Amino acid sequence: MPLGANSWGKSRVRVSKVLRGDPTDDILDLNVDIQLTASDVDVAHTEGDNRGVLPTDTMRNTVYALAHSRLGNDLEGFATVLCDHFLEREQITSADVTITANRWDRQSDQGFTGGSSEKRIARVVRGSDDRLSAGIEGLVVLKTGGSAFEGFPRDRYTVLPDADDRILATSVTARWDYSSKPADTTAAWDRVRQTLIDSFFSEWSASVQHQGYLMGEAVLAAVPEVERISFQLPNQHHLPFDVTRFGVEDTGTVFYPVPEPYGDIRLTVER
Amino acid sequence: MPLGANSWGKSRVRVSKVLRGDPTDDILDLNVDIQLTASDVDVAHTEGDNRGVLPTDTMRNTVYALAHSRLGNDLEGFATVLCDHFLEREQITSADVTITANRWDRQSDQGFTGGSSEKRIARVVRGSDDRLSAGIEGLVVLKTGGSAFEGFPRDRYTVLPDADDRILATSVTARWDYSSKPADTTAAWDRVRQTLIDSFFSEWSASVQHQGYLMGEAVLAAVPEVERISFQLPNQHHLPFDVTRFGVEDTGTVFYPVPEPYGDIRLTVER
Amino acid sequence: MPLGANSWGKSRVRVSKVLRGDPTDDILDLNVDIQLTASDVDVAHTEGDNRGVLPTDTMRNTVYALAHSRLGNDLEGFATVLCDHFLEREQITSADVTITANRWDRQSDQGFTGGSSEKRIARVVRGSDDRLSAGIEGLVVLKTGGSAFEGFPRDRYTVLPDADDRILATSVTARWDYSSKPADTTAAWDRVRQTLIDSFFSEWSASVQHQGYLMGEAVLAAVPEVERISFQLPNQHHLPFDVTRFGVEDTGTVFYPVPEPYGDIRLTVER
Amino acid sequence: MPLGANSWGKSRVRVSKVLRGDPTDDILDLNVDIQLTASDVDVAHTEGDNRGVLPTDTMRNTVYALAHSRLGNDLEGFATVLCDHFLEREQITSADVTITANRWDRQSDQGFTGGSSEKRIARVVRGSDDRLSAGIEGLVVLKTGGSAFEGFPRDRYTVLPDADDRILATSVTARWDYSSKPADTTAAWDRVRQTLIDSFFSEWSASVQHQGYLMGEAVLAAVPEVERISFQLPNQHHLPFDVTRFGVEDTGTVFYPVPEPYGDIRLTVER
């Protein structure tokens, strides 16, 4: 039976890149979707002959390899670079590249808050174990400097290298209890939120745990009614993707934002 | 066999409220979760005797009824009002109310952008039907004035009343084609985005269709390289919830944000 | 500027219908998406003249009204009925209706399990508060008979009518602790799962609370190693949609499956 | 300020394992969540001293390393193995491991359908470009044998090895057009669905493209009213995770199910 329209590609290639400035960095956080058509892939469908089927794994590698030298704020430009690269292969008849960039809003030279569904939480329990608490969910923060993770213990399954400078990104979930109700609960909440942001971006940390403790300490110092604050801080890893195996120079600026698994850090700071 | 810990309630009660100012409105957009425990509901579990089981539908109605007179920016205060209301019923032993507020950022007196996962899109097709286009997804906008919907045709299934003033909310998805590549694609994208926001908040509209057309017209006027722009605009309805049947005065400020179904409006504006 | 392609409609109209048999019922659980084009809506876009804009709310009502007499297992047939209805309006030039049916697998004459992402859970805690527990998530069950809710207390905000027969649907989340590890943990889990299903479909209940208690009792009777079992049971309401206001006969078989809010019932049954 | 309760771990470690039988395989598809507490991590929070902070990356590696020799259907047993492993480190005071298993239903010796939200689609367009079509979404299928991918072209960015036997998994989205309306649309849909399943599990394929073509061919042969059928077939890769670097013997049965990116294969088969 006749084969009709067909194409193949790789979807949701996640790539982030730090555009280093002095002192101001930019961050790109992208999904790349690629679809190709070719003149020699009919037999792949009808007879299982793969001689024309460029692996989608290769398409992914290509994105990371070219991102080092060619990716900047001109996303349409980078999409064109990718299209032209694939079209160099003679049998490829068309390339369709869509780049979807997540939004990050600058908060400091190396600090950004991410597009997300940020929520304010208020919780009241009455009748037994009375409780007045508040919280925030989905406060997405990322910094391109001011964070390390080294000096940790190693066992036979440890391969993680020490990092004295790294991207640190998390989505802050915090809940705090009030010892007494603030006169203005909205103003109190705003102050907690701003303190979390300021602390995350201004204070160097040795780990997510350390960063969380500093944030908690800052909130307790800033808002006297807060009795304790608990955090859940997923470590949204941005890992280097090894391109040196392709003979590409690693510029130290291109990363793979890992969707899962994630480090899952929980702590409480009290008065 | 013994019944252990138990509670019941209503989760994800969606309520929005406009806090009218002059000229500046505020908008609250909340999820309310309620859990109660009671001394007389064991028999509901073990014997099917419902005399103590306040319906969760009643809990929902209570949220809307009390929102008219008691809901303001003090969310913890409103959670306390709800707890206290349920505890008036003698057998209720505890009430646990959590309010989750979606974030809206002010853009004008009556205009807000919503927390969301806003994306910038770049798409390039090469090889056949060459195309250079860009887009935006997840630009969530809401205005508390400056929108109407009336004069529409009616058939036997039509009950919608005319509205000469209403909340208008949508999540803008737009794609536009460039006739030539802008010198700075990021600047061009920023200009389109800002034009969409300015147009939505400054121009009165008679319908989503009308609003979309005005937005498209404004973009084509502002960015000469844009050849055509297509929109998909879900109408995120905020409906009045009838509280007069409970003997409660309707203040015209409390709404039910409907998750589905949604009006689904699509249009293209061209040069 | 010229208006290009345009259409409007309603998306995600949720409708369920019980096809009564004797003794075997069928259940339809649908999303309906509608898009129309018309010859007289250009002015709605360009001038805000709504005389051709059939409200999307009317489209929704139409789905429920026609579902009573015309909806059966022939989904393409019902989509055609809807298209033809809208095309009766002379200016409508095309109608595009897509129906998406959720899958339900029959378990008994009136019992069904739903397509979902069912999970088996195993949890072990060691070192402090040692615990060996198991669980299930996403076991979606629906029955078209054998469930009531009446005799509940009423206050000023209560409008819910008594129901002596209703659709009962939930997504079972259960966690249970083992007092000792079963010889075959997979066989034990399978026995719990089957007991939950059998109990839900065979035992009449006066409420979700009652149904949950009966399920817990059955599990404790069936699997001796289970020490206690806790449930979270969202009540996935299927509500009648009032079509009598359109002069349509209510056949008592068409419902609106409510996505939110939901009754949120939690209980533990112990030995 | 005092540090309160704290713990750390890794969440959503995805691991799949084929339990080889003759001729019947089993498949495990798991998420593992780990949380540890330790006596020597206070200083990590308060002073940035990481000497007690076992990296969460190590926890992930441990899951894959131990899965080779210790993972079977007794999930509680494997959770206990993991807990005990972490508790070997003296300062670890508790380990909490939750395993969440996705459901797969056997269809053949090496074939499974997955828990998902399977949908039946019906679409009718009237008025212009009349169309009667149907479809399926979310038909999740996996086979542990009968699939290869080799003989593909290589460029400088290609590192993928040839595979003459591999896990093949996808979520089938298919849409087909009817040349004439089947007498019984539900029976026709059921026949297409069963043909897709039978073809996927019984026919060896050299690629996703090849598998899709064979499925399309089988549907056109089985249901005469189907004029053409289009597929979108994401390749849900299950990749080996290299444990030999830890001195662990690779049993060839443990895989990492990759959430993204995915190969994205599209094709149409016509009469």
This model of the complex carries an ipTM of 0.91
To the nearest whole Å, the CA of B70 is away from the closest chain C CA by 16
Q: Which residue from D76, D117, D125 is facing C102, i.e. has the nearest CB?
A: D117
Candidate list A17, A143, A237, A238, residue with the active-site label: A237
In chain A the first and final C-alpha atoms are separated, in Å, by 74
CB atoms within 10 A of CB D204: 13
A91 and A22 Cβ atoms separated by less than 8 Å:
no
D58 pLDDT more than 80 = yes
Query: Percentage of residues in chain A with pLDDT exceeding 70?
Result: 100
To the nearest whole Å, the CA of C211 is away from the closest chain D CA by 25
Those residues with Cβ within 8 angstroms of residue A21's Cβ, 6 or more apart along the chain or in another chain: none
Residues of A within 8 A of B78 (CB-CB) are 122
Residues 13-72 of C with CB under 8 A from B: 13-14, 33, 35, 41, 44-58, 60-62, 65
Q: Is A10 a catalytic residue?
A: yes
Could you tell me which chain A residue has the CA closest to the CA of B38?
A127
Q: Rounded to 10 degrees, what is the CA torsion of D215, D219, D221, D225?
A: -160
Give the DSSP H/E element, type plus range, for residue A220.
helix A208-222
CATH 3.30.1130 matches A8-102: yes
C54 and C37 Cβ atoms separated by less than 8 Å:
no
How far is the C-alpha of B97 from the C-alpha of B86, rounded, in Å?
10
- Helical pair C56-70 and C75-87, crossing angle rounded to 10 deg: 130
Q: Could A119 and B102 be called an inter-chain contact, meaning their C-beta atoms sit closer than 8 Å?
A: yes
Average pLDDT, chain D: 94
Q: Which residue from B83, B93, B127 is facing A87, i.e. has the nearest CB?
A: B127
| Average pLDDT of the residues in D44-61 | 95
> How is residue A131 annotated by DSSP?
E
Q: Is B56 a catalytic residue?
A: yes
| Average pLDDT of the residues in A7-29 | 94
Residue whose structure tokens are 């020597």: D40
Candidate list D68, D85, D143, D237, residue with the active-site label: D237
D208 pLDDT more than 80 = yes
Taking one residue from B and the other from C, the number of pairs with CB-CB distance under 8 angstroms is 250
Tell me the per-residue pLDDT of C129-183, one tens digit each, with 9 for 90 and over. Answer: 899 999 999 999 999 999 999 999 999 999 999 999 999 999 999 999 999 999 9
Q: Which residue from C117, C185, C186 is facing D115, i.e. has the nearest CB?
A: C117
To the nearest whole Å, the CA of B98 is away from the closest chain A CA by 4
B199 and B214 Cβ atoms separated by less than 8 Å:
yes
To the nearest whole Å, the CA of A222 is away from the closest chain B CA by 20
Per-residue confidence in pLDDT tens, chain C, 271 aa: 899 999 999 999 999 999 999 899 999 999 999 999 999 999 999 999 999 999 999 999 999 999 999 999 999 999 999 999 999 999 999 999 999 999 999 999 999 998 767 899 999 999 988 999 999 999 999 999 999 999 999 999 999 999 999 999 999 999 999 999 999 999 999 999 999 999 999 999 999 999 999 999 999 999 999 999 999 999 999 999 999 999 999 999 999 999 889 999 999 999 9
Where does CATH 3.30.1130 sit in chain B?
8-102
pLDDT confidence bin for A269, thresholds 50/70/90: very high
Distance of CA A254 to the CA centre of its chain: 12
How far is the C-alpha of D264 from the C-alpha of A56, rounded, in Å?
8
Interface test with A, best of D86, D150, D157 (most A CBs within 10 A): D157
A255 pLDDT more than 90 = yes
Contact A/B (≥3 CB pairs under 8 Å): yes
Candidate list B56, B185, B253, B268, residue with the active-site label: B56
Taking one residue from A and the other from B, the number of pairs with CB-CB distance under 8 angstroms is 156
> Residue B106's beta-bridge partner residues?
B112
Q: What is the model's pLDDT at position B89?
A: 95
Q: Could D96 and C123 be called an inter-chain contact, meaning their C-beta atoms sit closer than 8 Å?
A: yes
A189 pLDDT more than 90 = yes
Could you tell me which chain D residue has the CA closest to the CA of C132?
D76
CA atoms within 13 A on the CB side of B91: 11
Q: What is the model's pLDDT at position B22?
A: 87
D133 and A28 Cβ atoms separated by less than 8 Å:
no
Q: What is the model's pLDDT at position B209?
A: 96
Q: What is the 3-state secondary structure (H, E, C) of chain B?
A: CCEEEEEEEEEEEEEEEEECCCCCCEEEEEEEEEEEEECCCHHHHHHCCCCCCCCHHHHHHHHHHHHHHHCCCCHHHHHHHHHHHHHCCCCEEEEEEEEEEECEEECCCCEEEECECCEEEEEEEECCCCEEEEEEEEEEEEECCCECECCCCCCCCCCCCCECCCCEEEEEEEEEEECCCCCCHHHHHHHHHHHHHHHHHHCCECCHHHHHHHHHHHHHHHCCCEEEEEEEEEECCEEECCCHHHCCCCCCCEEEECCCCEEEEEEEEEC
How far is the C-alpha of B258 from the C-alpha of B14, rounded, in Å?
8
Segments in chain B below pLDDT 70: 116
Left if phi > 0, otherwise alpha if psi is -120 to 50, otherwise beta: which for D48? left
Q: What is the DSSP string of chain D?
A: --EEEEEEEEEEEEEEEEE--SS--EEEEEEEEEEEEETT-HHHHHH---TT---HHHHHHHHHHHHHHH-SS-HHHHHHHHHHHHHTSTTEEEEEEEEEEEPEEEEETTEEEE-B--EEEEEEEESSS-EEEEEEEEEEEEESSSB-B-S----TT--PPPBSS--EEEEEEEEEEESS--SSHHHHHHHHHHHHHHHHHHS-BSSHHHHHHHHHHHHHHH-TTEEEEEEEEEE--EEE---GGGT----S-EEEE--SSEEEEEEEEE-
Interface test with D, best of A209, A215, A232, A262 (most D CBs within 10 A): A209
D260 pLDDT more than 90 = no
| Average pLDDT of the residues in A109-129 | 90
Q: What is the model's pLDDT at position B191?
A: 98
Q: Which residue from B207, B247, B265 is facing C156, i.e. has the nearest CB?
A: B247
How far is the C-alpha of B231 from the C-alpha of D193, rounded, in Å?
35
Could you tell me which chain D residue has the CA closest to the CA of A91?
D153
B48 and C210 Cβ atoms separated by less than 8 Å:
yes
To the nearest whole Å, the CA of A20 is away from the closest chain D CA by 26
C51 and C32 Cβ atoms separated by less than 8 Å:
no
How far is the C-alpha of C252 from the C-alpha of A121, rounded, in Å?
40
Q: What is the model's pLDDT at position C129?
A: 86
Q: Could C103 and D96 be called an inter-chain contact, meaning their C-beta atoms sit closer than 8 Å?
A: no
D116 pLDDT more than 70 = no
Sort strands D104-108 and D92-102 into parallel, antiparallel or unpaired. unpaired
Interface test with C, best of D39, D91, D97, D124 (most C CBs within 10 A): D124
Q: Could B4 and C259 be called an inter-chain contact, meaning their C-beta atoms sit closer than 8 Å?
A: no
Tell me the per-residue pLDDT of D216-236, one tens digit each, with 9 for 90 and over. Answer: 999 999 999 999 999 999 999
Nearest to D76 by CA among C117, C192, B4, C270: C192
| Average pLDDT of the residues in A196-219 | 97
Average pLDDT, chain C: 95
Where does CATH 3.10.270.10 sit in chain C?
106-270
CB atoms within 10 A of CB C137: 17
Tell me the per-residue pLDDT of A42-82, one tens digit each, with 9 for 90 and over. Answer: 999 999 999 999 999 999 999 999 999 999 999 999 999 99
Q: Could C93 and D117 be called an inter-chain contact, meaning their C-beta atoms sit closer than 8 Å?
A: no
How far is the C-alpha of A101 from the C-alpha of A79, rounded, in Å?
12
CB atoms within 10 A of CB B99: 26
Residue whose structure tokens are 């800002």: B194
pLDDT confidence bin for D155, thresholds 50/70/90: very high
Q: Which residue from A10, A53, A247 is facing D264, i.e. has the nearest CB?
A: A10
Q: Is C143 a catalytic residue?
A: no
Q: Where are the alpha helices (DSSP H) in chain C?
A: 42-47, 56-70, 75-87, 185-202, 208-222
| Average pLDDT of the residues in D61-76 | 95
How far is the C-alpha of B271 from the C-alpha of B267, rounded, in Å?
14
Could you tell me which chain C residue has the CA closest to the CA of B149?
C50
Using CA atoms, how far residue C153 sits from B8, C150, C166, C210, in Å, is 14, 9, 19, 16
CATH no. for A106-270: 3.10.270.10
To the nearest whole Å, the CA of B6 is away from the closest chain C CA by 4
Residues of D within 8 A of A210 (CB-CB) are 44-45, 47-48
